[in-house]
Structure 1
């Protein structure tokens, strides 16, 4: 079973720029501020293999704490194929290429409901996605007390 994934919120360029600024993590490290970018669903970052690292703040149950996963977007998917990224209790974070779609979608699979929930839905399983836009080593990030991201040790 699948929750609809065609109702992605569309932001104007100005709104998107404002959201990116608001969602930038608070760090003194200029390289991280310059290269770690918050991503909106409308940007469809997984519609091609870009070999970039992505951080995903997600959970498998609405009552669970947020969890941080990271993965390299280095796999080309075809119709109906899936790449599992991480597992949390009875839930799986994965990239899934919907049959007939032109892009891959990040989903959370909730096993006890037998349902895939796309990132773009408002079901509150995927909170945020960040892309590391650099060839330098990926930063060591953690979830802070307010459920946002921060650099470990800061």
Structure 2
């Protein structure tokens, strides 16, 4: 009969819509997992760079202390003045610290950018999922 045929069509449409929602949800989950993995990787990389910065800063401080306590023999075999050596060391140290800070800043920016993309992507996927669920409900209520 016509009612049975309409019911079969409705069931078919509902099943197809449910399958689409399921596929979209799985896609959203995969994408969210990938974003989380990228974010974790960036956080790990940032932590490693921060640890490296701390290590290099400590090493630089140790070298500065050693320089202040003993004279350094220059490339020509003559002893350079401790003030020149200290200035040179401080300049090198400042350059190193500037470079490391810049690397940390760039990593922090990348991390923020990735986090922003992850949040907006997740919001979009949730919105799409809600829309699909509403469409399925409408199809089921027809």
Same fold (TM over 0.5): no
The structure showing larger relative contact order (alpha-carbon pairs under 8 Å, at least 6 residues apart) is 2
Higher helix share: 2
TM tier, smaller: under 0.3
- Tell me the TM-score normalised to structure 2 length: 0.19
- Tell me the TM-score normalised to structure 1 length: 0.18
Higher strand share: 1
Structure number, greater radius of gyration? 2
